[in-house]
A and B are shown apart, each in its own frame.
Chain A
Amino acid sequence: MKELFVLAEHRQGELRDVTFEMLTKGREISQKINADLTAVLLGHDVKEFAKTLAEQAKKVLIIDDVRLENFNAETYQKVLSYLISERQPSLTLIGHTAFGVDLAPSLATELKMPLATDCIDLDFEGERLVVIRQVYGGKVNVKAMLRKSESYIVTLRPATFEAQEVKAAGGQMIEVASPLSEDITYKRFIEYVQPPAGEVDITAADVIVAIGRGIKDADNMPVIEKLAKALGGVLACSRPIVDKDWLPTDRQVGTSGKTVKPKLYIAVGISGAFQHISGMKNADLIIAVNKDGKAPIFRVADYGVVEDLFKVVPVLTERILEEKSS
């Protein structure tokens, strides 16, 4: 029986959402190619995870080793390359996460298997694997084909597939002996660190005005701050603003920052890379201001203004202040 592997991702005692998203997509493909959906679980003391995964997959392969307790791409690669070589799955799905990007490219190179990363869709056309990816910051999609192979590796973009509830699959739990014979000393996990909390908690705000690359210069920030103040909201931002140190890390909205769900989110000069969108798409009302009418932010916004933000924002701020004083 053919197999389709899904690598379960977990961190600090929790299975991560991307695992269930991959199981959902993996189930659909496994039915199409007539393969068993197999969850691969690497870790230490992960019995509870195995039970959860068995509700969703036909099989759960468990390798329990203290050396797998915290993610380390080197140890993960050793174990996965062993499992994939042994069982030759048609496809292995890995999350396109901080863990997945550390692991998949070197794993595929070692196994001499074609890899496609950051995919938002995939399908078999005959024996060939076809994927959809986004390029140029989400402004263009690509349909691409992988070199023909018996076995493929794909990393899936998180928060792209909706994880579906399924009736318990009663999957078989299979414990596999760890192939790790010694400690890996050339790459060691030391610890997790959480940056200290700042004075403003943007996740608690009802109104957020967020700025991005489009504001061009730190000197332009007061213009937007005035709008945020007029609305009684807080200022947040997309990644480039934090990279430039114009705002502290705890103001960043997106996958590597905070996920927010305010009543109002005004995105100013933010083009809307998926990393940002996944952190704010569930806001009740989204208004976007961007001079590029094709910017991806307009695909999640309720209202859009295609204009120079430096023209729009002062007028809007003025009108809001007038409205409040009348």
Chain B
Amino acid sequence: MEIIVCVKHVPETAEAEVTIDESGKRIKTEDLVYDINEWDDYALEEAVLLKEKHGGSITVITVGTEEADKTLRKCLARGADRAKRLADKAFEESDAFATAKILHKTIQNLPFDLILTGAQAGDDGFAQVGGILAELLGIPHATMIKKIDVTEGSVKVNRELEGGLEQVMEIKLPAVLAIQTGINEPRYVSIMGVRKARQKELKVLNLADIGLKEEEVGESGSWITVEKMFIPPVEKEAEILTGGLDNIATKIVETLRARGLI
């Protein structure tokens, strides 16, 4: 089974403080740690599990600067066979639509049975690339995938809906599946894996290599452009308890007692 996994190198912000830079259109990234997008991490693991079960090979693709090689190397160390990075000045400021066009042009001449993406990215959260890519390739897709069973020429998948409910769908291959977190348990990178990864192919391609025009990518090729970023307005603010751990604990205990919760 030939699998392509589309990944993104993103800043980890869940546990970090985020501030906006002078341009007002981006966040300050100097102090942030970058890694593979969390959803893509699960997508990569799912590809490796499918390869272990059904054979074949995995190609991992990203759109990004040289920094993103860290994420590609990680994927290679975890079991991907080869990597492609799409890099060009013209790709900057691409939204999900422009990014999907870049991926489409890269993928259209490659052999594949299945394309996996993360259901969304932790930075811009569009949740669009999988669906757009499938439409451009003219193949079916499904998002929010929590389970994949490969059958003859198709896959049976569970899609996560709201409130814990799941929807089972059957989809003919080739197809695009956008993976939801929690579908598996991403493995750690082994020393052996890192060593092997050094021997694997990592190819860098630009705009001309994939045959796109400059106006089809970047801001001009996008559906949506950022006007400005701002910290969300505070409608209601928590009363922040201060004065050391003892005082904080006392205040909480008093509050709970007053409400009959202790």
Specify which of B162, B168, B235, B248 is in contact with A190 (CB 8 Å cutoff): B168
Specify which of B131, B164, B245 is in contact with A102 (CB 8 Å cutoff): B131
Specify which of A98, A114, A213 is in contact with B161 (CB 8 Å cutoff): A98
Query: Contact at B142–A116, with CB atoms within 8 Å?
Result: no
Q: Any chain A CB within 8 A of the CB of B212?
A: no
- Nearest CB to that of B230 among chain A residues? A141
Total interface residues in chain B, CB < 8 Å: 86
List of B residues within 8 angstroms of A258 by Cβ: 163-164
Q: A134-B125, A187-B169, A301-B238 are in contact. Are A104 and B131 (CB under 8 A)?
A: yes
Specify which of A140, A240, A271 is in contact with B229 (CB 8 Å cutoff): A140
B158-188 interface bits toward A, Cβ cutoff 8 Å, 1 = contact, 0 = none: 1111111111111110000000011001000
A-B contact count (CB 8 A): 281
Query: Contact at A98–B257, with CB atoms within 8 Å?
Result: no
Query: Contact at A299–B232, with CB atoms within 8 Å?
Result: yes
Size category of the binding interface on chain A: 35 or more
Q: Does more than half of chain A's interface fall in helix, strand or loop, or is it mixed?
A: mixed
Query: Contact at B132–A271, with CB atoms within 8 Å?
Result: no
Query: Contact at A105–B241, with CB atoms within 8 Å?
Result: no
Query: Contact at B170–A190, with CB atoms within 8 Å?
Result: yes
A249-280 interface bits toward B, Cβ cutoff 8 Å, 1 = contact, 0 = none: 11010011111000110000001000000000
How far does the alpha carbon of A70 sit from the alpha carbon of B223 in the complex, in Å? 30
8 Å CB contacts to A: which residues of B73-106? 96-97, 100
Q: How many whole Å from A84's CB to the nearest CB in chain B?
A: 15
List of B residues within 8 angstroms of A252 by Cβ: 164
Query: Contact at A133–B125, with CB atoms within 8 Å?
Result: yes
List of B residues within 8 angstroms of A158 by Cβ: 162
Query: Contact at A187–B253, with CB atoms within 8 Å?
Result: no
Q: How many whole Å from B160's CB to the nearest CB in chain A?
A: 6
Query: Contact at B163–A256, with CB atoms within 8 Å?
Result: yes
- Nearest CB to that of B10 among chain A residues? A136
Query: Contact at A143–B128, with CB atoms within 8 Å?
Result: no
8 Å CB contacts to B: which residues of A112-130? 114-118, 130
Q: Any chain A CB within 8 A of the CB of B52?
A: no
Query: Contact at B223–A147, with CB atoms within 8 Å?
Result: yes
Query: Contact at B144–A143, with CB atoms within 8 Å?
Result: no
Q: How many whole Å from A132's CB to the nearest CB in chain B?
A: 9
List of B residues within 8 angstroms of A118 by Cβ: 125-127
Of the listed stretches B13-21, B59-67, B107-115, B202-210, name the one at the interface; the rest are far from the partner chain: B13-21
Query: Contact at B239–A303, with CB atoms within 8 Å?
Result: yes
Query: Contact at A140–B239, with CB atoms within 8 Å?
Result: no
Q: How many whole Å from B97's CB to the nearest CB in chain A?
A: 7
Can you give 11 contacting A-B residue pairs, CB < 8 Å?
Answer: A134-B232, A136-B27, A136-B123, A141-B229, A141-B230, A145-B224, A191-B167, A213-B15, A214-B15, A259-B163, A318-B249
In the complex, the 8 A-B pairs of residues with the closest C-beta atoms, listed nearest first: A105-B131, A243-B182, A304-B238, A301-B238, A114-B223, A109-B135, A106-B135, A190-B168
Known: A101-B143, A194-B165. 12 other contacts (CB 8 A): A72-B169, A106-B141, A117-B128, A118-B127, A136-B11, A141-B232, A143-B226, A145-B225, A187-B140, A244-B182, A320-B256, A323-B257
